[in-house]
Structure 1
Amino acid sequence: MTPAIAAAISTALAVWLWTGPDAATARLIRLTSTEHPLRWRTLRQRITRPHPARRADAWSRATVELCQALSAELTAGRTPGEALTRALAAVDFPDPDALRPLVAAARDGGDVPTALATIAPAHGGEGLRRLAACWEVSVTAGAGLSALVERVGSTLRASQAHRQDVAAQLAGPRATARMLAVLPALGLLMAGALGMRPLAFLFGSLPGIACLVTGMTLDACGLWWTNRMALRAQSS
């Protein structure tokens, strides 16, 4: 194997490690590759499950749509229970099965605030919890539910716009961090093409192994720190 081919393989491996599945997922795939197809399908469903951040964002968007639809139904003169039932049917939630307690409470005149708080996920369910508080205030104090829902919807829309703006501003730094993480592998490819035999130094001598381990550690720490700062900026 020539140094250029080895460097190209190292580059492809580095890109796959960054964009591919994590080590635990890859280990699960290897261990279950010969299992029953049903178990394999279950494993694939777990692997392809949406990222928690994307799932929370989907719940937030659905809650905004729910507030808009509920406010429109209430303005049209429908009762709160009927308005909520129709609004739930018009909105596409990430997990429709989780809405069954809320649909039953709205249809049968049950405890809607408790149902809203119950189905609200830990991440992305802030809007549903606010809506539950508004419903409780409307029931106990007789406040206008339509105005409260409209205010909650406006607040959620402003928060969503802020998150989208922050994500757009962080797209550049994240792309730069990923590019910098791949640059060492590209450097190995260029050095191999020039006949410098970098892999022989990195894997064939103690100083080379020390440089390789140190570089990979610093590279991983840089990616982790960049991702940590981006997540903190998005959650602020």
Structure 2
Amino acid sequence: MLSLLLLATALIVWPQLRPLRRLRPRDKREVVVPPYIWLAAAATLTYLVAGVGGLVAGAVLAVTGRRILKQHRRNKALRQAAEALSNGLGGVIDELRAGAHPAQAAESAAEDTPAPAKEVLKAAAAASRLGGDVERTLREMKQPLLGKAVDQLARAWHVSAKHGVALADVLDATRRDLDQRAAFARQVHARMAGPRASALVLAVLPVLGVLLGEFSGARPFHVLTSTAAGQFLLALGAVLGAAGVWWTQRITEVQP
């Protein structure tokens, strides 16, 4: 049964499927293999090589690596979105001090601002042009990358409308605060590069130890894959290693 499963998987992922590609439209002749096929093939290969313990270890490491990569990408997107909003607010401030209406200033600055900050400025411009409540409009926006910054911008607009403070001055203070937060996040991220590298080296050391043991004739791979105690230790080591890497990433990564 296992041999048939491997054979079926090999036939599905085989790259030379010219008859099938000829039947497809010219712009859609590339065969896209579903992700679950690759997942099933990788799980089957891991099970055959390292047993149940290796399968558990591989799953733990794969899930942990995916979560860390996803969090890293999200934090990078947060920094880029905050910087884009800060630059956009700089354009709004310049337009306001030149005598432009807030709606016109926000709309003009939004043209040169990337998303998602662009949508924030456009929403503020539309609400201001129609005489609506800009603060409420901003607070009701669903911006997962700019939640805190948008709330801060809404409070600044509220202060200007309620107390008569110049909108340019309030927005300038908001922009400076965003710049300081972004600069602090970049500085901490740069200083934590050393600890993150040390944690990565420590996570790779067990693999190097197994390889050195194999070269010296101790056969640790055989123990880990062919004995019950080895299977348990393999899964346990993967869990502990993944927990250490995840915790290091958690305490060294700073959100803007």
Instruction: Note whether the superposition's TM-score is higher than 0.5.
Output: yes
Q: Is the 8 A contact 1:70 1:87 kept in 2?
A: yes
User: Hey, what's the Cα distance between the residues in 2 that align with 1:156 and 1:230?
Assistant: 21
User: Hey, what's the Cα distance between the residues in 2 that align with 1:156 and 1:199?
Assistant: 52
CA offset at residue 190 of structure 1? 2.2
CA distance 1:111–1:61, shift in 2 (3 Å):
same
Question: Cα deviations across residues 51-103 of structure 1 (Å, max 9, x unaligned)?
Answer: 33233222211221122111111111111111111112221123756765444
User: Could you say which residue in structure 1 is the equivalent of 2:28?
Assistant: none
CA offset at residue 179 of structure 1? 2.0
CA offset at residue 151 of structure 1? 0.9
User: Hey, what's the Cα distance between the residues in 2 that align with 1:146 and 1:157?
Assistant: 16
User: Hey, what's the Cα distance between the residues in 2 that align with 1:179 and 1:19?
Assistant: 19
Bigger shift: 215-224 or 99-108? 99-108
CA distance 1:120–1:229, shift in 2 (3 Å):
same
CA offset at residue 48 of structure 1? 8.9
Determine helix, strand or coil for the equivalent of 1:139: helix
User: Could you say which residue in structure 1 is the equivalent of 2:238?
Assistant: 216
State yes or no: 1:69 paired with 2:91: yes
TM-score (norm 2): 0.66
Question: Cα deviations across residues 183-209 of structure 1 (Å, max 9, x unaligned)?
Answer: 211222222223321111112223323
| Identity, % of aligned positions | 30
User: Could you say which residue in structure 2 is the equivalent of 1:34?
Assistant: none
CA offset at residue 220 of structure 1? 1.6
How many residues in Structure 1 have an aligned counterpart in Structure 2? Answer: 200
User: Could you say which residue in structure 1 is the equivalent of 2:148?
Assistant: 126
State yes or no: 1:80 paired with 2:78: no
Q: Is the 8 A contact 1:116 1:128 kept in 2?
A: yes
TM-score (norm 1): 0.71
CA distance 1:178–1:54, shift in 2 (3 Å):
same
Question: Cα deviations across residues 109-152 of structure 1 (Å, max 9, x unaligned)?
Answer: 33222222222624533222222112122122211111111111
User: Hey, what's the Cα distance between the residues in 1 that align with 2:205 and 2:178?
Assistant: 40
CA offset at residue 168 of structure 1? 0.7
Q: Is the 8 A contact 2:110 2:118 kept in 1?
A: no
In the alignment, which of 146, 149, 164 is matched to residue 142 of structure 1?
164
Question: Any residues of structure 2 matched to 1:22-61 within 5 Å, and which?
Answer: 22=66, 51-61=73-83
Question: Any residues of structure 2 matched to 1:148-163 within 5 Å, and which?
Answer: 148-163=170-185
State yes or no: 1:179 paired with 2:201: yes
Determine helix, strand or coil for the equivalent of 2:100: coil
User: Hey, what's the Cα distance between the residues in 2 that align with 1:163 and 1:49?
Assistant: 15
Determine helix, strand or coil for the equivalent of 2:192: helix
Q: Is the 8 A contact 1:63 1:128 kept in 2?
A: no
Q: Is the 8 A contact 1:60 1:125 kept in 2?
A: no
User: Hey, what's the Cα distance between the residues in 2 that align with 1:19 and 1:220?
Assistant: 9
Unaligned segments of structure 2, at least 5 residues: 1-48
Q: Is the 8 A contact 1:131 1:149 kept in 2?
A: yes
